């Protein structure tokens, strides 16, 4: 069994429990021991953060291409053309290599708690929704910058089947998983049909055509 916690990480809080500079951390929100974040959200980002006491579960969900995509709602400065939005799914070049979204679309203003942001004077803003199957450092921000629209606000709303439903900034919910979360894209290894009463690499003998099977009577009997 494993504990899994859904937390709405507020803006300005670090995705860790300690900080040498005494900045706000998860310790101010959670009074639980032996749980660790599954991935991270940077200090300026908000939204869904998972925590667990299972290293296996942590590694499974965090692995790129694991089958647990992440959804982000992003307020950007500027109104990108559809061709620029499509570029996010075609791929953009970042310093640490190419990056590609699973999906990207423009959306209406989502129903989120209000937070003041400061676009440059005279600049319009719009919301994008972006799905990723990996989570490199500040990846969404860098991808949006690559198409010319800097991020003003970023909220992660989903990781795989888990969402922000029922949460508000700073709140959390815990559940117990009674079985490991498997990778939906990775087929399970078939169970061996090899009998266990004979050595590996052998096969039962069978009489050859036209040749009688040798007697198994012990010699000297």
Distance CA 199, CA 203 (A): 8
Which of 19, 42, 44, 96 does the annotation list as catalytic? 42
Based on the number of CB atoms within 10 Å of its own CB, is 112 exposed (0-12), middle (13-18) or buried (19 or more)?
A: middle
CB 5 within 8 A of CB 52: yes
CA 35 to chain centre: 17
Active site residue 197: no
Following DSSP, what letter does each residue of 167-212 receive, concatenated?
A: --TT-EEEEEESSPPP-TTSPPPPPP---SSS-TT-----PPTTSP
CB 84 within 8 A of CB 104: no
Would you name the residues annotated as active-site residues?
42
């Amino acid at each position: 069994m494993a504990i899994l916690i859904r937390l709405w990480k507020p803006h300005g809080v670090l995705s860790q429990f300690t900080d040498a500079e005494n900045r706000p951390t998860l310790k101010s929100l959670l009074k639980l021991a032996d749980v660790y974040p599954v991935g991270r959200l940077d200090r300026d980002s908000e939204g869904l953060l998972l925590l667990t006491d299972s290293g296996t579960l942590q590694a499974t969900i965090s692995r790129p291409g694991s089958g647990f995509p992440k959804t982000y709602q992003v307020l950007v400065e500027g109104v990108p053309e559809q061709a620029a939005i499509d570029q996010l799914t075609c791929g953009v070049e970042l310093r640490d290599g190419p990056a590609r979204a699973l999906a990207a679309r423009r959306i209406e203003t989502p129903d989120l708690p209000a937070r003041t942001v400061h676009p440059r004077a005279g600049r319009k803003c719009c919301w994008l929704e972006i799905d990723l199957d990996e989570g490199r450092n500040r990846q969404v921000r860098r991808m949006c910058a690559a198409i010319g629209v800097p991020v003003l606000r970023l909220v992660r709303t989903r990781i795989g089947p888990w969402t922000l439903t029922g949460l508000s900034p700073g709140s959390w919910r815990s559940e117990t998983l009674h079985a490991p979360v498997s990778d939906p894209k990775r087929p399970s290894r078939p169970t061996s049909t090899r009998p266990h009463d004979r050595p590996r690499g052998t096969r039962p003998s069978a009489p050859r055509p036209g040749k009688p099977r040798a007697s198994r009577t012990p010699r000297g009997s």
